[in-house]
Chain A
Amino acid sequence: MTLLLYYWSFDLVSAGLLLTLSLLYGSISGWRWQSGWRLYVAGLFLLTLVQFSPLHRLGMNCSMSAHMISHMLLLLVIAPLLVLGLPRQRVGRAGILMNRMSAFFQCAPWLGWLIGLGTMWFWHIPAVYAASVAHAGAGIVPICTLAGPSTDWRVNLVHLAHPISLMLGGICFVWPVLGPQPERRIFPLTGVLYLFTACVGCSLLGMLITFAPAGSFHAYAVDQSYYAMLSMLPAGWQLDPSVDQQMAGLLMWVPGCLVYLTGALWLFMTWLTSELEVDKVAPVHLR
């Protein structure tokens, strides 16, 4: 475990992404901390962990379940945190853009659903999945790289598109439910249905990965860096490829689904316990 903890990586594009997101917050909020900033910062922090921590290396080089954890964090945790943390009072051009986005998803919430689920499914087509992880010949990755694990720029491009598209897909997905303009969110009960159907789609994919024949997703090049990474793992972790694939599928199926369900429940409970406007409007007539 201790050895594994040294394996931090760093790449300039992820750093750029983090910087962009921070600047975006600043420009929308008019350079003030507004309520909910903690959520936004938490999202950024998690994003940093996903991109730079040993989890990233593990997912890139040997473990599909580590890859899946970062995938789910991006889609299901970081994206909602960022959206929830958006400032309440928005200024500037970016603020107007946000409002336009809310208006758009108010008209077509199903599009958000489709984008979110589509991104998720797309990255798990075996061929696409294989393209997004490290390849043979990548060698030992230097401490600081421009973009990704390879010397081939196309591979690096796919590698970069993966987290960014997942995060954007997640943001589009949660926008109709948690968007920054509460009056433009969808009706909470519809929201429950929205999240539940998404959970079905997510479970289905998890199920496919879990029960797919061992090896369908094993795209890691079994070379020096693969074994080097494996040898870093603590003694008790048997990272058998078939178990690894099953675990990845199950991570998506069970905990992944739980995130959706928790969201659905939270949505429902806050709606049910919030103040009812009708009460204030309609007076009670007593005789």
Chain B
Amino acid sequence: MEQKTLIKLVVGSEAIFFLALLMAFVYFTYVPVLNPRVASSLDLNRTSLFTVMLLSSSVTFWRAEVSFRRGRTKQLRLWLLCTVVLGVVFLVGQGSEYSSLLSRQLTVSKGTFTTSFFTLTGFHGLHVLIGIVVLSIVLYLTFLGDLDDPDSALLPSVGIYWHFVDVVWAVVFVIVYVLPHFLTGHTP
């Protein structure tokens, strides 16, 4: 109960942090007119693939929670491992996207679009990384057998954080990748 309340408060606070970064991005790329370079320089298809990976990690985590409540430690380990792997795959995807952007000289200092893009997605990536570290610790604890009390609030608390990170990405994905793609697609 206490842990969950705490993590909810922290997540709420973090949401405002991301909202501020997101508003900066929107301000720089959508105003006064949508920056056409956004859609052309970002690869929607590949990122969609990695987005699906990250979002499905929420599902695997949910399965992990279910197996935890039922006391099935082996399944719990498996689902947790899946979650961690999916998270890592997402980060690798983000890294490869960054390197392709950088190889095209689209660095942080290129312009306001790249500055706000790298800050927003970079901080999200950092949160994913933190989530992966925490999940790995939880996974390690399951192997130690420290996680067999089904009333423990540890897993649900971590879950709130992990789902939050995924939701943030869903919003970021829509605003950074999907919307510009469609808006520039429709206007000649």
Contact = CB atoms under 8 A, between A and B. Distances in A.
B21 to A, nearest CB: 14
B32 to A, nearest CB: 4
Contacts of A212: 31
B114 to A, nearest CB: 22
B47 to A, nearest CB: 23
A213 B32 CA distance: 6
Interface residues of A, number: 5
Contacts of B33: 213
A212 B31 CA distance: 7
Interface residues of B, number: 7
A211 B27 CA distance: 9
B136 to A, nearest CB: 31
A189 to B, nearest CB: 13
Contacts of B19: 204
Nearest to B32: A213
Interface in A192-220: 204, 208, 211-213
A200 B26 CA distance: 17
A71 B111 CA distance: 39
Nearest to A208: B26
Contacts of A213: 31-33
A211 B31 CA distance: 9
B171 to A, nearest CB: 13
A204 B18 CA distance: 14
Nearest to B16: A200
Nearest to A213: B32
A217 to B, nearest CB: 13
A214 B23 CA distance: 18
B60 to A, nearest CB: 24
A204 B26 CA distance: 12
A212 B26 CA distance: 11
B11 to A, nearest CB: 13
Interface string B30-54: 0111000000000000000000000
Interface string A211-232: 1110000000000000000000
A211 B19 CA distance: 16
Contacts of B23: 204
Contacts of B32: 213
Interface string B120-163: 00000000000000000000000000000000000000000000
A170 B96 CA distance: 45
A180 B19 CA distance: 35
A205 to B, nearest CB: 12
A213 B26 CA distance: 13
Interface of B: 19, 23, 26-27, 31-33
9 contacts: A204-B19, A204-B23, A208-B26, A211-B27, A211-B31, A212-B31, A213-B31, A213-B32, A213-B33
Given A204-B19, A213-B32, 7 more contacts: A204-B23, A208-B26, A211-B27, A211-B31, A212-B31, A213-B31, A213-B33
Interface of A: 204, 208, 211-213
